[in-house]
Amino acid sequence: NKKNYILAIESSCDDTSAAVLCNTKVLSNVVATQEIHKQYGGVVPELASRAHQQNIVPVVHQALAKANIDKKQLSAIAFTRGPGLMGSLLVGASFAKSLSLGLNIPLIEVNHMEAHILAHFIDDESMTAPEFPFLGMTISGGHTQIVKVSNYFDMEVLGETLDDAVGEAFDKSAKLMGLPYPGGPLVDKNAQLGNPRAFDFPKPKVDGLNFSFSGLKTSILYFLQRETKKNPDFIVENINDICASVQYTILEILMDKLKLAVKQTGIQQVAIGGGVAANSGIRARLKEAEETLGWKTYIPKFQYCTDNAAMIGIVGYLKFLEGQFTDQSIGAKARYAI
Ligand code: KG4
Ligand code: ZN
C-alpha cells in the first residue's frame, strides 16, 4: 500500500489551518485561531485575510514539522476553494497554487461543506465511518445544512438555513445576554445548570427541511427587553435558565428537521459536523435517538468538527485517488454549492 502524503490548507473564515495526511491518517493538524475578532464580537473579513496572510507560512511549517515530513515528500496539495470569505479564501488558494507550482505536484480544490461531511472518513480509533447512504448535518457558525450523502462525491442538499446559521443563533443569543464572542460554548456550559423549560421561545414555521433562526434571535431580544424592564438584574439572576431554554429551542428545531429528513428519505444513519456538533445537548439528543428511534449516529472528534485542515486533507486524499486535480487557472469561490 503506497504512502501518499497530502498537505491541506484551510482558510475559509477566521482559522488558518494546515494538515498533513498519510492516506487517511492525520499526521498533523495545526490550527491558528485569530483572537483579533473577539473585541469586535464577530469576524471582521478584512482583518481575517490579513491574519491569514501572517499565519499561513508558520502554520504550514509547523504542520510539516509535526508530521516529520519534508515538503519534497508531498504527493499533492489540497486547499479550500469555498464557500467562505473571499479575502480569506484567496490567501489559502494563492498559497496552495504557488506551492504546487514550486514543488511541481498536483493541486486539489476542496469544497469546505463537503469536507465537514467527509471528515467522518478520517482514520482515527475514536471514530467509525458511516456507511452510504447517510444523512449529514453540518452545523456551525457559517452553515446549517442537511445533506443526503450517497457516496463520497454524490451529495444532495436537502435543506439549509434561509437566514442565520445555527452557530450564529447561539452566538447572537449569547451576545444579547452579554456573554463574550463566540458565545455558543458558554451557552452550552450555562445550559447544563439550567432548566430547559423555564422559558418558552417560539419555533419558526419553515416548510420542508429548510431552517430559519433570525426570528428566534428577535424573540429572545424582545423577551430580554421586557423582563429587564421589570427587573434590571433579570439576565444575571436567570442566566442558566435562559441559556438552557434558548439551547432547548435550537435543539428542538434541529431535531425536528432531522426527524423529518429521516422520515422523507428512510435513511436512519445520521452524521453531524461543524462547530455546533461540540454542543453537549445535541450530542445527548443524538445518543437518545439511537435508543428511542433506532438511528445510528456519528459525531467526529472535536478537532475535526470545527474548521480544520485535516478535513480538507481527507477530501484531498479521496480526490487524489481518483485523479481529480485542478490547474493553475482555478480561483476561489465565496459561494460554492455542494
Ligand atoms: O465550525 P466552526 O468552528 O466555524 C465555522 O465554520 O463557523 O463553528 C463555530 C461555531 C460558533 O458559532 C460557536 O459558537 C459554535 O460553533 N460552537 C458551539 C459550541 N462550540 C462551538 N455552539 C454551541 N455549543 C457548543 N458547545
Ligand atoms: Zn466550517
Residue 39 has pLDDT above 90, yes or no: no
268 — pLDDT class (breaks 50, 70, 90): very high
In a domain, 48, yes or no: yes
Q: Are residues 173 and 253 in the same domain?
A: yes
Q: Are residues 53 and 137 in the same domain?
A: no
pLDDT tens-place string over residues 118-142: 999 999 999 999 999 999 999 999 8
Q: Are residues 202 and 312 in the same domain?
A: no
**What is the per-residue pLDDT for 46?**
87
**What is the per-residue pLDDT for 43?**
85
Q: Are residues 286 and 311 in the same domain?
A: no
279 annotated as belonging to a binding site for a ligand: yes
Q: What percentage of residues in the chain have a pLDDT greater than 90?
A: 93
- Which cell numbers hold the place of 148? 443526503
Domain residues for 162?
130-299
Amino acid identity of residue 258, one-letter, is: L
142 annotated as belonging to a binding site for a ligand: yes
Is residue 37 within 8 Å of 141, Cβ to Cβ? Answer: no
Mean pLDDT along residues 240-266: 98
In a domain, 91, yes or no: yes
- Which cell numbers hold the place of 204? 419558526
pTM: predicted TM-score of the whole model, two decimal places: 0.94
In a domain, 218, yes or no: yes
Q: For residue 43, give the ligand nearest its CA.
A: 1
In a domain, 61, yes or no: yes
231 annotated as belonging to a binding site for a ligand: no
In a domain, 30, yes or no: yes
The dihedral formed by the CA atoms of 121, 307, 7 and 111, expressed in degrees to the nearest 10: 70
Q: Are residues 153 and 108 in the same domain?
A: no
**What is the per-residue pLDDT for 267?**
98
Half-sphere exposure of residue 121, counting CA atoms within 13 Å on the CB side?
22
Find the 115 Cα to ligand 2 centroid distance in Å: 9
Asked whether 188 lines ligand 1 (CB < 6 A), one says yes
Nearest CA to ligand 1 atom 7: 141
User: How many distinct structural domains can be found in the chain?
Assistant: 2
Q: Are residues 149 and 222 in the same domain?
A: yes
In a domain, 337, yes or no: no
17 annotated as belonging to a binding site for a ligand: no
Find the 275 Cα to ligand 1 centroid distance in Å: 4
Residue 72 has pLDDT above 90, yes or no: yes
Q: How far apart are CA 171 and CA 179, in angstroms?
A: 9
- The per-type count for the chain, helices as H runs and strands as E runs, is 10, 10
The answer to which of 39-53, 221-235, 263-277 has the lowest mean pLDDT is: 39-53
Residue 272 has pLDDT above 90, yes or no: yes
Amino acid identity of residue 221, one-letter, is: L
Higher pLDDT, 9 or 39: 9
Asked whether 182 lines ligand 1 (CB < 6 A), one says yes
In a domain, 327, yes or no: no
**What is the per-residue pLDDT for 119?**
97
Find the 60 Cα to ligand 2 centroid distance in Å: 19
In CATH, what number is assigned to the domain containing residue 111? 3.30.420.40
Q: For residue 302, give the ligand nearest its CA.
A: 1
Average pLDDT of the chain is 96
Cis peptide, bond prior to residue 202, ω within 30 of zero: no
- The pairs formed by 278-284 with CB atoms below 8 angstroms and a separation of 24 or more are 278/185, 278/188, 278/302, 278/305, 278/306, 279/170, 279/184, 279/188, 279/247, 279/251, 280/188, 280/192, 281/188, 281/191, 281/247, 281/248, 281/251, 282/139, 282/251, 282/254
Find the 149 Cα to ligand 2 centroid distance in Å: 18
Q: How far apart are CA 36 and CA 50, in angstroms?
A: 11
Q: Are residues 193 and 281 in the same domain?
A: yes
**What is the per-residue pLDDT for 35?**
84
Which atom of ligand 1 is found nearest the CA of 278? Answer: 26
Q: Are residues 53 and 177 in the same domain?
A: no
The DSSP H or E segment spanning 206 is none
Q: Are residues 143 and 279 in the same domain?
A: yes
DSSP designation for 301: -
Which atom of ligand 1 is found nearest the CA of 174? Answer: 14
Pocket test for ligand 1, best of 113, 114, 116, 170 (most atoms within 8 A of CB): 170
Residue 1 has pLDDT above 90, yes or no: no
pLDDT tens-place string over residues 168-198: 999 999 999 999 989 999 999 999 999 999 9
Is residue 82 within 8 Å of 335, Cβ to Cβ? Answer: yes
Q: Are residues 31 and 179 in the same domain?
A: no
Asked whether 276 lines ligand 1 (CB < 6 A), one says yes
In a domain, 142, yes or no: yes
Nearest CA to ligand 1 atom 20: 185
Burial of 59 (0-12, 13-18, 19+ CB in 10 A): buried
* C-alpha dihedral sign at 160, 162, 164, 166: negative
Asked whether 167 lines ligand 1 (CB < 6 A), one says yes
Asked whether 170 lines ligand 1 (CB < 6 A), one says yes
Q: Are residues 36 and 93 in the same domain?
A: yes
**What is the per-residue pLDDT for 42?**
81
Q: Are residues 241 and 281 in the same domain?
A: yes
